[in-house]
Amino acid sequence: MNDKMKLGLIAAFSIIALFVLSLWISSTPAGADNSVRFGILTLLPPLIAIALAFITKETILSLFIGVFVGEFMLSVNDINIVSTIVNAFLNMCVQIINCMADPWNAGIILQCLLIGGIIQLVTKMGGAKALADAFAKRADTPRKAQLFTWLLGLCVFFDDYANSLIVGPIMRPVMDKLHVSRQKLAFVVDATAAPVAGIAIISTWIGLEISLIAAGFKSVGVTNITGFGIFLQTIPYRFYNIFILIFIVISAMTLYEFGPMKKAEQEARARKDDEEIMVLEAPGFEEVKPVEGIKLSVWNAIIPIGTLIIGALIAFYWSGYTTILGGEDQALIAIMKSSPLSFNGIYTALSQSDASVALFQAALLASIVAIVMAVGERILTIEDAISEWIGGMKTITITGVILLLAWSLGAVIGEVGTADYLVGVLSSTIPAFIVPSLIFVLGALISFATGTSYGTMSILMPLAIPLAWAISSGDMSFTIVATSGVLTGAIFGDHCSPISDTTILSSMGTSCNHIDHVTTQMYYSIFVGIITIFIGYIPAGLGVPFYFSLPIGIVAMYVGLKLIGEKVDFEEVGETSS
């Protein structure tokens, strides 16, 4: 069968499928809620995008089609598919523009572009190579390199996006030299991004988390608590976050792997030092080399990246500080005026900050610092420095395209009612002790289907807290466990989803093929997710304290990895490379 015939069959099948879809939707009552009107069809946009991503390995095309299918469903008025297709295309264009115009989204894309420019400048100044060489002297085996990447991920705790784009490019040459696969690097980076930011008391996540928690408890009449206080109490029950971070250490120490990751690691071990690493759809910075003849210095990396990190923390505080003083909440204003630098003052300011603006400000400042250093050290002229900075942004452009389509798909999924449909189907009457596990699974499914942890938390938290409170007759401890299930389930599903923004950024930051990253990480996430349910949330629902579940879960991960995994011995590679 030639290509023209294949294309014709695909076009014919698509037209028939759209006609059947139009016929089905047009027969439903137009005035009904979309989750009721579309029913099981609400799952089509995310399922089509996810399935095509795995089948075709074309992330952009898959997301595009997913968005189009969702807009097509929303545009159906009758069985005239020609007018529906035209309206769906026009609405899709508007949706993408609206996502780009959203201040939060615009800030995220801009800070990603700026970080790309910083990384390129740091690379041209030799800072990245100097830092990688310094790390390689200490992380001289695959085991140490993975642990070092894990530790670096913990250090960039304040934001998962920044984590993915900082840690990945720094550690990639070290991992490549030691024959550790890009897939394993992407997993370590991804698994130390959202899981760390989600439980850090200073991060871009905490404002959303505590606001949702406070609103949820207020809805059941509990007003004598603070969202931050409940947030702190959920940390020991954030089983998936804790277990996935410890699993990285267990896997690195034992060198045991399973599933597609084992194959990726075996292929990396067999790779010759001068063999080119084939990376599809994963543009990176590996083709950028330092300027010839310059003296390598780690400070050419430490100062710009340090400026980014410290600047971000200061920008978070200042953003929240000015927001509070410009607002009308007299209690918060009093805190800022009386003790602005106390723990409570700093926490209050951070919880009110606009993370996307703060990160953009920090990235712009770090960009200026990097340009000034490159020119001041006579490594680059001002024209060349700006050119390299812009060149680094171009490397991240594809990330921006994917993020825009992922956000557009999330918006369309919200309009067709996917999350509401899943909640309605899965939240039937169940035994009380299953509720935390059900909430975790429900959060995972919504996050997997929508590709957003934030959106999942926003959708599920107002439902989960009242449900847990009612079933437990107002048991605070039980409700706290259920609350943690929302927060961790969202991250678990996000880790498994190919349309997740953090998963996409981890792929780009490590120059790993995106679908390869998803398929290798998914096995590990599901393994840890199963332990989270059976050793974490089910016992917690029965009242078992976390200090029993956590050590048992760690032992279970170690034993399970030993039973289903196989050691990929890199010791010889590490010795010859060091």
pLDDT of res. 574: 42
CA dist 117 and 169 (Å) reads 12
* H or E element that contains 566: strand 566-567
Question: Between residues 323 and 104, which one has the greater pLDDT?
Answer: 323
Answer for the pair 576, 178: CB distance below 8 angstroms, yes or no.
Answer: no
Distance of CA 192 to the CA centre of its chain: 10
pLDDT of res. 130: 81
pLDDT of res. 419: 66
Assigned domain for 52 exists: yes
Half-sphere exposure of 282 (CA within 13 A, CB side): 28
Total Cβ atoms within 10 A of residue 560:
18
Assigned domain for 81 exists: yes
pLDDT over 70 (residue 467): yes
pLDDT over 50 (residue 323): yes
pLDDT of res. 489: 93
Distance of CA 418 to the CA centre of its chain: 20
Assigned domain for 24 exists: yes
- Which pTM was predicted? 0.71
CA dist 299 and 307 (Å) reads 11
Assigned domain for 26 exists: yes
Answer for the pair 419, 438: CB distance below 8 angstroms, yes or no.
Answer: no
* Structure confidence by residue, pLDDT tens digits, 329-341: 788 888 888 888 8
Assigned domain for 546 exists: no
Strands 566-567 vs 256-257: parallel, antiparallel or unpaired: antiparallel
Query: Per the structure block, which two tokens stand in for 449?
Result: 């289907």
Assigned domain for 46 exists: yes
| Structural domain containing residue 61 | 3-101
Banded model confidence at residue 281, pLDDT cuts 50, 70, 90: very low
pLDDT of res. 343: 79
**What is the percentage of the chain residues whose pLDDT exceeds 70?**
84
Phi, psi (rounded to 5 degrees) for 531? -65, -35
* Structure confidence by residue, pLDDT tens digits, 495-509: 888 878 788 888 888
Banded model confidence at residue 575, pLDDT cuts 50, 70, 90: very low
Strand partners, 257: 566
Handedness of CA 61, 62, 63, 69 (dihedral sign): positive
* Residue 200, Cβ density class (10 Å: 0-12 exposed, 13-18 middle, ≥19 buried): middle
Assigned domain for 346 exists: no
Assigned domain for 58 exists: yes
Count of domains forming the chain: 1
* Structure confidence by residue, pLDDT tens digits, 87-117: 889 999 998 898 888 887 787 788 778 887 8
Three-class SS state of 179: coil
